[in-house]
Structure 1
Amino acid sequence: MTMEQRVTRAELARLAGVSRPAVTSWIKTGRDFPRSGSDGRFLLTEVTNWLASRRVHGSIRGAGDRAEGSYADRIWRSLAAAAPTMPGSRPAPTLAEVLSMRLPGDGATGDIDNLVFMLTAVFLRTRVPHAWAGLRDLYPPDVGAVGARWLVDRVATAAERTARRHGMHPAVFAALRRLMPEHVSRVREFLVQCSALGAEHVQLIINAYEAALPAGAFLTPQTVASLLAEMIIDETARSVYDPFLRGGELLTAAVDAAASSEDLCLRGVGSDTTALSLAGVNLLIRGEKAVLLPADQAHRVQVTHVLANPPFGVDSWIDERPVPGGALFPAPPPRSAFRWLLHCLDQLSGEGRAAIVMPPAAAFSVNTIERKIRRELIDRAMLEAVIALPSGLYAGADVATSVWILRRERSGDWPVLFVDAASLGRQRDGRTVLDETARKRVVQAYRSFLSGSAVEQWNDGERNMSAVVDRSSVISDRCSFNPAEYVINRSKPPSDSDDLRAVLHQSYDRVLRSYGDANRSAADVARPLTAQTVPLKDVCEVKAGFRYSRLPSDQRSRTEGIPIVMPHHLRNGRIEATDLRLAPKEKADRLSSYELKAGDVLCVRTGALTPPAVVDTRQRGWLMSTNLLRLRVHDTGLLDPYYLCAYLRSIAAREEMKTFAGATATAYVTAADVGALMIPLPSLDRQHEVTAALHVLDQEVVVARDLVSVATAARDATEHRLFGGAR
Structure 2
Amino acid sequence: MNQQASAFVTAADISRLAGVTRATVSNWRRRHPDFPAPAGGTDTSPTYDLDAVRAWLSARGQLPEDTPADRLRTALRTHPGDTELALHLLPVVLAAARLDRGEREALPTLRDDALLRWVRSATDDGANGFPGTEDAAYAPEAAGPLRALLQCVVTDGAEAATDVLAERLLEDTGGTGTYLTPRPLTDLMARLLTDSTGAFPMSVLDPACGTGSLLAAAASAGATELHGQDILAAQAAQAAVRLRLSAPERAITVRTGDSLRSDAFKGLTADAVLCNPPYGVRDWGHDDLAYDQRWAYGVPPKGEPELAWVQHCLAHLAPGGRAVLLMPPAVAERTAGRRIRAQLVRDGALRAVVSLPQGAATPLHIGLHLWVLERPDPQAEVPGTILLVDAAASENRDLDWATIDGTVLSAWRPYLADQDGFTGAPGIAAAMPVTDLLDEAVDLTPARHIRPASQQALRPALLTRQASELYGQLSRTATDLVGLSADGDWPPAGDRPRDWRTATVSDLLRGGALSLLHTAPPGRRTRSGQPQPRPEAELGARPALTAADVFENRPASGTEADLPAGIALPSIQTSDVLLTELLRVRRTAVARVVEPDETGCFLGPHLLLFRPDQRRLDPWFLAGFLAAEQNVNAATTGTSIIRVDARRLRVPLLPLAEQQRYGAAFRSLHELRAAARRADRAAEDVTRLLSTGLTGGALLPRGHGSA
Are the counterparts in 2 of residues 236 and 304 from structure 1 also a CA contact under 8 Å?
Answer: no
Q: Is residue 2:199 matched to residue 1:228?
A: no
Q: Which runs of 5+ in 1 are unaligned?
A: 1-9, 15-96, 142-149, 540-570, 575-598, 602-613, 621-634, 640-681
Question: What SS is found at the alignment partner of 1:534?
Answer: coil
Q: Is the 8 A contact 1:424 1:434 kept in 2?
A: no
Q: Deviations over 1:331-358 (max 9, x none)?
A: 3215621111111111121111111111
CA contact (8 A) 1:116 1:172 kept: no
Q: Does the 8 Å contact 2:71/2:148 carry over to 1?
A: no
Residue 348 of structure 1 is matched in structure 2 by 317
Which of the residues 271, 295, 303 maps onto 2:231? Answer: 271
Q: Is 2:206 aligned against 1:242?
A: yes
Shift of 1:292: 2.3
Per-residue displacement from partner, 1:544-584 (whole Å, max 9, x unpaired)?
A: xxxxxxxxxxxxxxxxxxxxxxxxxxx9999xxxxxxxxxx
Which residue in the other structure is 1:136 paired with? Answer: 108
Change (3 A) 1:244 1:105: same
Q: Deviations over 1:175-234 (max 9, x none)?
A: 999x9999999778634422xx377x8999999999998453212111111111101134
- Partner Cα separation in structure 1 for residue 474 and residue 162 of structure 2: 35
Deviation at 1:246, TM superposition (A): 0.6
SS in 2 for 1:478: coil
Report deviation, 1:706.
4.3
Q: CA deviation at 1:117?
A: 11
User: Under a length normalisation based on structure 2, what TM-score does the superposition of the two structures give?
Assistant: 0.55
Aligned counterpart for 2:346 among listed residues 375, 379, 388: 379
CA gap of 1:466–1:636, structure 2 versus 1, over 3 A, is: same
SS across alignment from 1:246: coil
How far has the Cα of 1:360 moved from its partner? 0.6
Q: Is the Cα–Cα contact under 8 Å of residues 392 and 399 in structure 1 kept in the other structure?
A: yes
Does 2:85 correspond to 1:123? Answer: no
Please tell me whether residue 438 in structure 1 is matched to residue 401 in structure 2. no
CA distance, structure 2, for counterparts of residue 303 and residue 426 of structure 1: 35
CA-CA distance at 1:363 after TM superposition: 1.0
2:385 to 406, 415, 422: 415
Residues 468 and 688 of structure 1: is their aligned pair in 2 closer, same or farther, counting only changes over 3 Å?
A: farther
Letter in 2 for 1:255: A
* 1:184-223 matches, cutoff 5 A: 190-194=152-156, 197=157, 214=175, 216-223=177-184
Asked whether the 8 Å contact 1:156–1:173 carries over to 2, the reply is no
Question: Counterpart of 1:476 in 2: which secondary structure?
Answer: coil
Number of the residue aligned with 2:273: 306
Q: Of 683, 689, 692, which aligns to 1:708?
A: 683
Q: Partner letter of residue 362 of structure 1? A: V
Q: 1:478 aligns with which of 424, 441, 458?
A: 441
In structure 1, distance between residues paired with 2:363 and 2:144: 32
Matching residue's letter, 2:407? R
Question: Whole-Å Cα distance in 2 between the matches of residues 495 and 111 of structure 1?
Answer: 66
Q: CA deviation at 1:712?
A: 2.6
Distance apart, 1:289 and its partner CA: 1.9
Question: What amino acid is the match of 1:415?
Answer: T
How far 1:324 moved relative to its partner?
3.9
Q: Are the structure 2 counterparts of residues 396 and 354 from structure 1 closer, same or farther at C-alpha, using a change threshold of 3 Å?
A: closer
Alignment-derived partner of residue 462 in structure 1: 425
Q: Tell me, in whole angstroms, the C-alpha distance in 1 between the residues paired with 2:137 and 2:358.
A: 32
> How far apart are residue 528 of structure 1 and its match?
3.9
Which residue of structure 1 aligns with residue 505 of structure 2?
Answer: none
> Structure 1, residues 376-407: CA drift from partner, whole Å, max 9, x if none?
12222221110111222336843331100112
The question of whether the paired residues in 1 share the 8 Å contact of 2:338 and 2:442 is answered with yes
Is 1:252 the counterpart of 2:224 in the alignment?
A: no
Label 1:389 to 1:202 Cα distance change in 2 as closer, same or farther (>3 A). farther
| 1:571-624 C-alpha deviation (Å, 9 max, x unpaired) | 9999xxxxxxxxxxxxxxxxxxxxxxxx999xxxxxxxxxxxx9997999xxxx
Amino acid at match of 1:475: L
Q: What is the letter of the counterpart of residue 236 of structure 2?
A: L
- AA in 2 matched with 1:123: L
Q: For residue 419 of structure 1, give the secondary structure of its aligned residue in structure 2.
A: strand
Q: Distance in 1 between matches of 2:328 and 2:175?
A: 21
Following superposition, the deviation at residue 472 of structure 1 comes to 2.0
Give, as a single letter, the amino acid of the residue that structure 1 aligns with 2:408: V
Q: Cα offset for 1:257?
A: 1.8
C-alpha separation between the residues in 2 aligned to 1:221 and 1:691? 32
Structure showing greater radius of gyration is 1
Q: In the aligned structure 2, how far is the partner of 1:118 from the partner of 1:685?
A: 49
Contact residue 308 and residue 355 of structure 1 kept, 8 A: yes
User: How far did 1:416 drift?
Assistant: 1.2
Matched, 1:393 2:356: no
* In structure 1, C-alpha distance between the alignment counterparts of 2:679 and 2:135, rounded to whole Å: 50
State which drifts further: 432-441 or 464-473: 432-441
Contact 1:124-1:132 at 8 Å conserved across structures: no
Secondary structure, counterpart of 2:440 in structure 1: coil
Listed one character per residue, the Cα deviations across residues 460-501 of structure 1 (whole Å, up to 9, x for unaligned) are x22332222111222222111111112245666745469858
Distance of 1:503 and 1:181 partners within structure 2: 71
Matching residue of 1:330:
299
Alignment of 1:570-589 (within 5 A): none
Distance 2:370 2:138 in 1: 36
Higher relative contact order, structure no. (Cα contacts within 8 Å, ≥ 6 residues apart): 2
Aligned residue runs from structure 1 range 505-544, under 5 A = 526=487, 528-530=489-491, 532-535=493-496
Structure 2 residue corresponding to 1:450, chosen from 416, 436, 446? 416
CA–CA distance in 2 between the matches of 1:515 and 1:105? 56
Q: 1:98 to 1:182 in 2, by over 3 A?
A: closer
Q: Is the 8 A contact 2:93 2:162 kept in 1?
A: no
Q: Distance in 2 between matches of 1:521 and 1:102?
A: 49
SS at match of 1:247: coil
Q: 1:357 to 1:219 in 2, by over 3 A?
A: same
Tell me the C-alpha RMSD between the 2 structures.
Answer: 5.7
Residues 520-553 of structure 1: per-residue CA shift (max 9 Å, x gap): 9769xx58434531247999xxxxxxxxxxxxxx
Cα contact 2:268–2:316 (8 A) shared by 1: yes
Deviation at 1:311, TM superposition (A): 0.1
2:413 counterpart letter in structure 1? R
Task: Indicate conservation of the 8 Å contact 1:105/1:181, yes or no.
Answer: no
One-letter amino acid matched to 1:343? H
Q: Go from structure 1 to structure 2 and tell me whether the alpha carbon gap of 1:690 and 1:463 turns closer, same or farther (over 3 Å shift).
A: farther
- Aligned pair in 2 of structure 1 residues 373, 293: CA closer, same or farther (>3 Å)? same
- Contact 2:230/2:255 (8 A) holds in 1: yes
Output the CA distance in 2 between the equivalents of 1:375 and 1:271: 30
8 Å CA contact 1:280, 1:292 repeated in 2: yes
Distance 2:252 2:109 in 1: 32
Structure 1 residues 532 and 398: CA distance shift in structure 2, 3 A: same
Percent identical: 21
Q: Confirm whether residue 289 of structure 1 aligns to residue 251 of structure 2.
A: yes
TM-score (norm 1): 0.53
Listed as ranges, the gaps of 5+ residues in structure 2 are 5-66, 501-584, 589-627, 640-648, 701-707
Conserved 8 A contact 2:193-2:324 = yes
SS of residue paired to 1:441: helix
- In the TM superposition, residue 441 of structure 1 has moved relative to its aligned partner by 2.9
SS at match of 1:292: strand
Question: Aligned runs of 1:174-185 on 2, under 5 Å?
Answer: none
Give the Cα–Cα distance (whole angstroms) in 2 for the partners of residues 131 and 335 of structure 1: 53
**For the residues of structure 2 that align with 1:398 and 1:488, how far apart are their CA atoms?**
25
Moved more, 130-139 or 115-124: 115-124
